[in-house]
A and B are shown apart, each in its own frame.
Chain A
């Protein structure tokens, strides 16, 4: 048992954080959090999106500085002024957002910042040889001379991991490293982790997958809303208890009871294939009064099919019928006029104008309608203000200042602003793409209720989600995507964790 080995190692902690606080404009991301890491253990950080995990590992990795609190490394109080300094003493991180330069080769990335030189010039040859050795040792089949931009996401993940393993390690931070890896690659990664553990490396591991926690971790620290909740030995509590600790409420209560009332079919997508082949020959239908789930791994096509249907992803083949009529020219503004609204997954990239006010953000999609403009040209400022005021009250925006810049609100409130936009127009079909990413539990529950209300009012809803519980608890029908194809359609009671997960992975291999 790895457990017994671990107990013999429980000496003084390798790394200790005491009372760490981190204040961002408008949000207290970490509120006096304690954390410690021993040599040779895998310590899982567990919490919802927005619980403060990322902030915490960014502080450990040196890319953020705490507002207050102490960092003690090998018994000495330290302060990492940047990533480079943290790296020098052996703290390496593999983040979800890769720190690779796409225009450079694998070798150049592996040695970025620690290039080898010979008489003042780069020693290309020995770096190439060493890079091959590192990759071989790790068991990754990659050509070190290939540019990063030509690699798949999984391959890029491997380079990122290789980068962390290529230097002297004492603390390794892994942020959902298996998200884009296949089962075999994941297996290989776990072997590497075991190997690093036996060499006394402390590993901070972030994951949402219960299976992985049980498989490789020794201890778990639970964070919620930026606060330290508890620290546990793995296996001392059940999965259900762990999730309850994470969410701070009994699971059933986050998800509201929804009365589905499937009526007329409103959307038909027939045999759609996108230009990039990210979706292949997929057909779906959506009815009024129901919530249709789109499940699958990242990049499985679950989001791309709906983006194609909203006019932001080009497709080579396929037909779209809305309300019984074939739709020919597909652009966001036309689809919105038909009554479809797509809420994007990343509010920062695609959703909001961070440097503009809540008012301007909420009303943006609706400025052309007569309620808000005369002759579609001159804006009706008073009506706009009233409408946004009502929406802010309905969404319980806090603080309810509609002239404040969106960028100065917390993540959950930003999400509310983005969701409120769908209420500004007459919409029959709502598409929510990862609607609860990066929001706290309270807002999450509010968003679920928001979706429920829309559904019970008779609207059709498509919910694209990587969060399995959302698919399980909110939808009455679900499509499971795998590599661009629809692997399964599940209805009602068929939507179980086992059924969905079964279809997440390869089946047609034989």
Chain B
């Protein structure tokens, strides 16, 4: 009797796993696998403190990845997210430092002006990207690569390559290390942005149009959608999210720096792809992208604890990215086969 039940439960498990794979992609399996491996390698890995730590550290990548996702959904890229972070960090910090010197008494004003200046700087790069892609039909790859170079150059030029000091302490205390209702401020900001993104993509016309444009831009245009405006908005929103990430990172580091965010383009695209966003556009879910970014953070943390060299870590992330694309193609094949 036991001989017949064993294969039965095995087939049942396989069917369940298959369904999970079709629905969620490879990500849940990767997270479980990583958790098992790192727990066995390091005692500290699977502790509440460490997991909270990972969450806080990953917030910056999660925010950027959500922005990157918008560009990917419309069938493009944004390779300038790293530069946007750098520019907003440098401009925001410089403005804050200058305000603190000019009006030493009003800290709140300095912080406000600094954030505003950082936002404007970051959004302007996104706006240029958007205009280039939507009005002049520049390939998103070239447009954002070009702007990445321009922005990085400007950030270095403004600072001379030296970190910007002189921000009011309170900025870091609130946005870098602060807690609100027991939750670290960056985590709270990320949570709010995540909710806004979920609403934007699932409940609003703009969100639906992002998917439609990435799905088939000609069909979208024939359906009466203003494709130019919406493409522009995708890059603008993307830069907005990257800027927020840059300003939060500046608060955490307590300086404005031109070379932060260099790894962001690769990591954010990796997070999206591992989270099941199609590079051809039109497909992807915010929840999975957040999970994808979290997984990358988890991986880096685990490898740090396991004392894997940072150079080798880059190798692992690159390989995983390729692996994710391959498994996603297999998943598409299964979906087509299951015909649902």
- A: which residues have CB within 8 A of B? 25-26, 310, 312, 332-333, 336-337, 342, 344, 349-356, 360, 364-365, 367-368, 373, 376-379, 381, 401, 404-405, 408, 421
Contact = CB atoms under 8 A, between A and B. Distances in A.
Contacts of B221: 312, 332
B1 interface: no
A408 B336 contact: yes
Contact of A377 (B204, B225, B340): B204
Nearest to B218: A350
Name the residue in B215, B220, B340 with the highest tally of chain A Cβ atoms < 10 Å from its Cβ: B215
Given A379-B204, A379-B205, A25 B223 contact: no
A266 to B, nearest CB: 19
A378 B204 CA distance: 4
B265 interface: no
B211 interface: yes
B11 interface: no
A360 B222 contact: no
Contact of A353 (B206, B215, B337): B215
Interface in B205-238: 205-206, 208-209, 211-212, 215-216, 218-226
Nearest to B221: A332
Q: Which 4 A-B pairs have the closest CB atoms?
A: A353-B215, A333-B224, A25-B336, A365-B223
B278 interface: yes
A354 B217 CA distance: 12
B339 interface: yes
Contacts of A344: 218-219, 222
Contact of A373 (B205, B211, B218, B224): B205
A423 to B, nearest CB: 13
Contact of B222 (A26, A351, A367, A368): A351
Given A26-B339, A408-B339, A356 B222 contact: no
A353 B216 contact: yes
B140 interface: no
Contact of B208 (A332, A333, A367): A367
Contacts of A378: 203-205
A367 B205 contact: yes
Nearest to B280: A355
Interface in B254-278: 278
Q: How large is the interface on B (under 10, 10 to 19, 20 to 34, 35 or more residues)?
A: 20 to 34
B282 interface: yes
Nearest to B205: A367
Given A25-B339, A349-B218, A353-B282, A377 B205 contact: yes
B283 to A, nearest CB: 5
Contact of A355 (B215, B218, B222, B225): B215
18 contacts: A25-B339, A332-B222, A332-B224, A350-B218, A351-B216, A351-B222, A353-B215, A356-B211, A356-B282, A360-B208, A364-B219, A364-B220, A365-B224, A368-B205, A373-B205, A378-B203, A378-B204, A379-B208
Contact of B219 (A336, A350, A373, A379): A350
Contact of A376 (B205, B211, B215): B205
A378 B202 CA distance: 9
Contacts of A368: 205, 224
A336 B221 CA distance: 11
Given A26-B339, A333-B225, A352 B203 contact: no
Nearest to A403: B340
Nearest to B340: A404
A361 to B, nearest CB: 8
A355 B282 contact: yes
B216 A332 contact: no
B208 A350 contact: no
Interface centre among A25, A367, A408 (most CB of B within 10 A): A367
B215 A356 contact: yes
A353 B222 contact: no
A360 B339 contact: no
A173 B112 CA distance: 72
B278 A355 contact: yes
